[in-house]
Amino acid sequence: MPVQYWLIKSEPAAYSWEDLQKDGETLWDGVRNHRAANNLRTMKKGDRAFFYHSVTGKEIVGIAEVSEPGLTDPKDSNWAAVKFKPVRTLERPVTLAEIKADPKLEGIELVRLSRLSVAEITSGEWDRVQELAKS
C-alpha cells in the first residue's frame, strides 16, 4: 500500500518539533474533531506527515512518520491516536503566507480547512512544499 501524506498541527508552546526530536517518538492524542480523528484512524505505519507550528510561527518545520497506527486515545476511548517519530527537519520552514501565495497549493487543506488539526496532503502538495523548503 502506498504511503499517504498528512499534516499535523501543534502549538510550539504546547509541543514543538524540537520536543518531538528530543523525545524520539510521541503519542498524538487529544484530537476532538471527527474529521481529524478519522484521518488518524486512516493512517498506516510509514505514512508521512508535515509537522506544522500553529499560532506561533505558522510554518511547516519538519517531517514525521507514523510509527504506531490504530491506537485509542488514553484519555477517551471514543477517539483515535497514533504515534509519530521525527524523520527530518526541513531545510527551511515553509510559512503559511508562502503556502497561501503559491497557486500550486490553492486546494491544500491547511488553508481550505484551516481549523483542522490533522489534514490530508496530496502527493503533489507534498512535493511542492518540499520544493519550497529547498528554495
CATH code at 5-134: 3.10.590.10
pTM of the model: 0.95
In order of 45, 61, 100, the CA distances from 82 in angstroms are 9, 20, 28
Tell me, what's the pLDDT at 38? 95
pLDDT digits (tens, 9 = 90+) for 82-95: 999 999 999 999 99
1 or 47: whose pLDDT is higher? 47
Tell me, what's the pLDDT at 23? 98
Mean pLDDT of 90-108: 96
